[in-house]
Amino acid sequence: MVNIFCIIHGLNVLFQECSKKQKNDDTQSTSVDALSSGDGFEEKNEFPTLANAKILLSDCLACDSCMTSEEGARVFQQNQKELFRILNLNKKCDTSKHKVLAVSICPQSLPYFAAKFNLSVNDAAKRLCGFLKSLGVHYVFDTTIAADFSLLESQREFVQRYQRRNQEEHALPMFASACPGWIRYAERVLTNLVTSHICTAKSPQQIMGSLVKGYFARQQNLSPDKIFHVIVAPCYDKKLEALREDFYTALYNSQEVDCVLTSGEIVQIMEQKNVSMEDVTEVSVDTLFDDMKEGDVVRHDGKRSDGYLEHIFKYAAKELFGMEVKEITYKALKNKDFQEVTLEKDGETVLRFAAAYGFRNIQNMVLKMKKGKFLYHFVEVLACPGGCLNGKGQAQTEDGKPDKALLNQMEEVYAAIPVRLPETNVHVQKMYQDWLEGMDSKKVQETLHTTYSAVNQTASSLDIKW
């Protein structure tokens, strides 16, 4: 195991006693380079924490025991240099080595570009697309369609688990699976106490990988290994998620996602190129469907994330209890990042959901579960305090702290984006039938789902002293 040592928010490594109690989730984050580089592409950093694929897993979700030497080497490759390596490769005469370069942008990244450059979110999307294509990128996609699939699969799985709750011990509670920092912590530390409860639907990032390397590759008559797929995301945890073995196709020696760059790393490239977003030509974002272009940016329900709690709650209320829920009322409990939602019928609480953001709330949630005092049917778990918009790969000050003023602007931008229900996306419904062979097919399970289990367990989470 390579000694990759991460100190996150003032907390020491997970498998040791915590040497510094945390007072709040907003204290400064620091990190150490995974590896050093000797190639010639020098980077000018907008933020100190954005250099050369440093691993900044939010709220102490990684430690020196959680990465193999191979993972460390491959994580280091996930930076701007790898993007430029492919761009330079495509300029050479040997066309057999050329790659189709596709970039997919997470919806929580767009408000960062909009707020930072004082643009509307639609203008930000088009200018970001124009900038990437000016570099030599062939296709720029929006990952919202992948979130559509993830939400639809997650809400169906919850209803199935709820209906099996009296027959299967691990059916409930169900935990969301979209946050890779949370998933890594659960697999490496919490063991099967938690992993059997994690929803099996892939995250939007990895479903986008399946769409690009599967559906889109087939539409373009391309082998998956001929596509180099980059994700632009708000956090560093996504870099590790892209390396998971279950997201690798041995037949083509191809990962579903080849490289993850944070929003801040894209801004670094702009600065290195002396490019201003205001000067970039607007280009419409591509879709996976022939020459069709994306329209206006849309989002899902949820204040700072893809809205798993809201979508699953409304769907379950209707499917299980025949109740139409239009608006959801959140009840903040110990802090603003731990909130509860309940459904009442005939004087009885029939559904109890929670949103737990940040490691402090995750730890409290797990302790309640161990004590048998866990009352929730579903929890939307996110590693970053404040949710995905507060990912550590964007909206940071020069000293590595959250830029609260910029974050406030980003929240306003995100809240103003129109909501589109995943059920209303006609392309998704068509792909279920034409590509996935029906909603209940084996191909759906193979393409849109995965499994989670304890990995390289070296210490029980009971051994950690907080």
Query: CA-CA distance, 277 to 297, in Å (whole number)?
Result: 18
Segment 141-186, tens digit of pLDDT: 999 999 999 999 999 999 999 999 999 988 999 999 999 989 988 9
Q: What is the mean pLDDT of the chain?
A: 83
Query: CA-CA distance, 78 to 260, in Å (whole number)?
Result: 6
**Residue 53 above 50 pLDDT?**
no
What pLDDT is attached to residue 68? 66
Segment 431-465, tens digit of pLDDT: 999 999 999 999 999 999 999 988 764 444 434 33
Do 354 and 339 touch, CB atoms closer than 8 A? yes
Do 265 and 239 touch, CB atoms closer than 8 A? no
Answer whether the bond into residue 402 is a cis peptide, omega within 30°: no
**Residue 3 above 80 pLDDT?**
no
Taking alpha carbons only, the member of 121, 26, 108 closest to residue 305 is 108
DSSP 8-state class, residue 263: H
Helix, strand or coil, per DSSP, at residue 119: coil
Taking alpha carbons only, the member of 410, 116, 405 closest to residue 271 is 116
What pLDDT is attached to residue 342? 97
pLDDT-wise least confident of 42-56, 148-162, 234-248: 42-56
Report the predicted TM-score, pTM, of the whole model to 2 decimal places. 0.85
Following DSSP, what letter does each residue of 49-62 receive, concatenated? GGSTT----TTT--
Mean pLDDT, range 225-232, rounded to an integer: 96
For residue 462, count other CB atoms closer than 10 A to its CB.
9
What pLDDT is attached to residue 11? 31
Do 125 and 142 touch, CB atoms closer than 8 A? yes
Edge-to-edge strand list for the sheet holding 227-233: 139-142, 100-105, 227-233, 259-262
Edge-to-edge strand list for the sheet holding 338-345: 174-175, 378-382, 348-357, 338-345, 331-332
Mean pLDDT, range 364-392, rounded to an integer: 91
How far from the centroid of its chain's Cα atoms is residue 36's Cα? 26
- pLDDT band of residue 72 (cuts 50, 70, 90) is confident
For residue 116, count other CB atoms closer than 10 A to its CB.
20
Helix, strand or coil, per DSSP, at residue 67: coil
Strand bridging mode 331-332 / 259-262: unpaired
44 vs 280, residue with greater confidence: 280
What pLDDT is attached to residue 258? 94
**Residue 6 above 50 pLDDT?**
no
Segment 81-128, tens digit of pLDDT: 999 999 999 998 788 889 999 999 999 999 999 999 999 999 999 999
* Residue 17 identity (one-letter amino acid): E
- pLDDT band of residue 66 (cuts 50, 70, 90) is low
What pLDDT is attached to residue 252? 76
What pLDDT is attached to residue 18? 33
Phi, psi of 402 (to 5 degrees): -60, 135
Helix and strand tally (H, E) in the chain?
16, 11
Do 64 and 1 touch, CB atoms closer than 8 A? yes
Segment 289-338, tens digit of pLDDT: 987 888 999 999 877 788 999 999 999 999 999 999 999 999 988 889 99
Measure the N-to-C terminal CA separation of the chain; round to a whole number of Å. 25
What pLDDT is attached to residue 454? 81
- In the chain, what are the helix, strand and coil shares in percent, each to the nearest 5? 40, 15, 45
Residue labelled with tokens 């010639």? 40
pLDDT-wise least confident of 19-23, 141-145, 259-263, 334-338: 19-23
Taking alpha carbons only, the member of 217, 258, 194 closest to residue 453 is 194
